[in-house]
C-alpha cells in the first residue's frame, strides 16, 4: 500500500470507453483532495467536452 489517498473523477465516455482523472495526495490529506476535486471538476468537464468536440 502506498499510504496515499486517491480520488477518481469520472468525466464521461469517449469511443465507448470511460474517461477519468485520478488525483493523489499524501496520507491524511483527504479533505484537501476532496476540495481540490470539487474545485477542478467544472474545468475538467469543460475541457474534456472541448477535446471530444475537436476530436470528432
Q: Where are the domains of the chain?
A: 5-55
Query: What is the pTM (predicted TM-score) of this model?
Result: 0.78
Distance CA 22, CA 28 (A): 17
User: Quick one: pLDDT at residue 56?
Assistant: 65
| 3-29 tens-digit pLDDT | 899 999 999 888 899 999 999 999 999
Distance CA 10, CA 44 (A): 10
Amino acid at each position: 500500500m502506498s499510504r496515499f489517498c486517491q480520488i477518481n473523477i469520472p468525466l464521461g465516455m469517449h469511443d465507448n470507453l470511460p474517461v477519468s482523472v485520478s488525483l493523489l495526495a499524501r496520507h491524511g490529506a483527504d479533505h484537501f483532495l476532496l476540495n481540490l476535486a470539487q474545485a477542478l471538476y467544472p474545468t475538467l468537464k469543460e475541457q474534456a467536452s472541448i477535446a471530444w468536440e475537436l476530436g470528432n
